[in-house]
Amino acid sequence: MIISNKFKTASTYALVGLSALVLSGCANKAVVSYGDAQAVETTDINFGSTDLQKVASQMTDSLLSSPVVGTMTANKRPVVFVERIKNKTSEHIDTESITDSISTQMLRSGKFRFVDMTRVESVREQLTFQNEDALVNPATAVAFGKQIGAQYMLYGNLSSIVKSNADKSDVYYKFTMRLMDMESGLVEWADETEIRKTKEKSTFGW
C-alpha cells in the first residue's frame, strides 16, 4: 500500500512537471504572420526594402516618361543590358535586387527587351553542348552567332554620406542611373533620387 502511494505521488509530480514543460514550450513558441510587402520599413536607419522600392519605382517612372525614351521606343523595342549597380556606400547592400526590380518594371512596360549578361557563360556552355555533342540532333541545335547584341546599357551608382553625434545619426543616400547608346557612347537619359534618414537618441538609448 505504501509503495502504491509513493508510486502515485511520483506519477503525479511527473505529470505536473510534463504539463509545465509543455505549457512553457507553447508560451515560448514564436508567432509568424504575413505583413504588407509595401509597408514602410522603420526597423533601423540602414538601407532597407522601402528604400529599394522607392529608388526602383522613381527611376523606372522617370525613364519611361522621358521624351527621349518615348521617341526611342515609339516604333521598336530597343535591346538593353543592365549593369549591376555599383555600391559606393559603407553598407553591404544587395544592389542586384535594385537592378532586378528596375529591369523587371521596364520589361513589363513592353517598351524594352533585355539581354542577361549574368547568364552568358551558361548560354555559351549550352550552345557548345548542342553544337558539339553527338547526343543532340543537329537539326534542333541553336546555331552560334544568332544572339542579338544590346543597343543600350543601363548603369548606375548608389552612394551615401553618414553623419552622427551624441544626439542623432543621419544618413544621406544618392542613387544615380544613366542610359547609354552603345554605338555612339552618348548618354540618352540620366536621373537621380535622394533619401535622407535620421535617427535621434532616445531617453533609454539607441
Summarised one tens digit per residue, pLDDT across range 128-145 is 888 888 888 888 888 887
Which residue intervals of the chain are DSSP H helices? 2-27, 49-65, 67-72, 95-108, 120-132
Specify the length of the chain in residues.
Answer: 206
Residue 170 cell numbers, joined: 543621419
Instruction: Summarize pLDDT for 104-113 with one digit per residue, the tens.
Output: 999 999 999 9
CATH architecture type of domain 37-115+150-200: 3-Layer(aba) Sandwich (3.40)
* Whole-number pLDDT of residue 206: 47
Question: Are the CB atoms for 159 and 88 separated by under 8 Å?
Answer: yes
CA distance 66 to 191: 10
Q: What is the DSSP string of 56-71?
A: HHHHHHHHHH-HHHHH
